[in-house]
Structure 1
Amino acid sequence: MQSMTCQDCPRKLEVERYIKEHKIDEMLQNLTSSLFYQMPENPKQYLIEQLKLLKASRDEFAEPPTLFTENNAETIFNMLDPCKKNSIPSDRYQHALETLGVLHCGKVLDNKDEFISKDMYMNVVKTGLKQMASTYKPIG
């Protein structure tokens, strides 16, 4: 009798589709990152609260819970703009997006001499943080 490997498992594709459709990997990544960053005294209660916030963001269109906030993003921008010109070079912009985990949301800049305004940076970051935190299947 031959043993069945995971590759032969009839439900493997079904499970993979389910995980992708419901963004399970992303949700677990966000929850564990937040948990390890915050290190609350009661981790189970903390996770329950995070899941409630996530549910509220889906059901009530509230802001989803994120590891980084807009204030964090603005602080990073301000550190990269010490002369307060309200713009940063494209390499610093891309590094900031990478730091926040939202590099995929910004346009790729080929011109290294290009400068990015604070408004553009904040718009990209807000969109990216929201996309990253929206780890649920939309209703409807």
Structure 2
Amino acid sequence: MATQREEDAAVYLEKHKIIELMDNLTSMLFFYRPEKPRDFLIEQLEQLKLCQQSGMKGPNLFSDSNLDVIFGILDPDNKKYITFAQYKQALTMLGIKDINECPDGVNDDRISLETFRIEATRGLERCSATYAQL
């Protein structure tokens, strides 16, 4: 049974989205592999604070071209669509937890590149919205 202190800590972490923030920062470390990780993290936190103050979106590791590559891997025959299961798996692998279960094309089990990009970008933006809580 959780103690009051453990419950308070869990509420605090959730309220301030600390776990998501740490996940995002860790992903950035793995992606960029900076020579000076501490300096890199300080710089990222400073940039995130500026984003929060200016109302800008937080950083996103994946560009449209990165998303195109992911889609292409899932569509090696160049059919111009992927299945809903592939769509869900790809978004999950990108770290997106709250996946749109009814994207365009779901009824035909054909998710287009455009829909994949839109949903991935929205999901990644929601993930980086954790930075607004700094």
**Normalised TM-score (structure 2):** 0.79
Report the residue type matching 1:23 in the other structure. K
How far apart, in 1, do the equivalents of 2:35 and 2:123 lie? Answer: 29
Aligned to 1:19: 13
Task: Tell whether the 8 Å contact from 2:88 to 2:99 is kept in structure 1 after alignment.
Answer: no
Aligned to 1:34: 28
Aligned to 1:132: 127
How far apart, in 2, do the equivalents of 1:38 and 1:102 lie? Answer: 20
Task: Tell whether the 8 Å contact from 1:90 to 1:116 is kept in structure 2 after alignment.
Answer: yes
Decide whether aligned partners of structure 1 residues 13 and 98 sit closer, same or farther in structure 2, where only a CA change above 3 A counts.
Answer: closer
Aligned to 1:81: 75
Decide whether aligned partners of structure 1 residues 37 and 138 sit closer, same or farther in structure 2, where only a CA change above 3 A counts.
Answer: closer
How far apart, in 2, do the equivalents of 1:92 and 1:112 lie? Answer: 14
> Identity of paired residues, percent?
34
Decide whether aligned partners of structure 1 residues 60 and 86 sit closer, same or farther in structure 2, where only a CA change above 3 A counts.
Answer: farther
**Normalised TM-score (structure 1):** 0.76
Deviation of 1:24 (Å): 0.6
Q: What is the root-mean-square deviation in Å for CA atoms of aligned residues?
A: 2.7
Report the residue type matching 1:132 in the other structure. C
Deviation of 1:15 (Å): 2.5
How far apart, in 2, do the equivalents of 1:38 and 1:58 lie? Answer: 22
Aligned to 2:44: 50
Structure 1: unaligned runs, 5 residues or longer:
1-5
Pairing 1:114–2:130 present: no
Aligned to 1:3: none
Task: Tell whether the 8 Å contact from 2:17 to 2:133 is kept in structure 1 after alignment.
Answer: no
Decide whether aligned partners of structure 1 residues 47 and 85 sit closer, same or farther in structure 2, where only a CA change above 3 A counts.
Answer: same
Moved over 4 A (4+): none
Q: Larger helix proportion, structure 1 or 2?
A: 2
User: Quick check: which has more Rg, 1 or 2?
Assistant: 1
Deviation of 1:130 (Å): 0.8
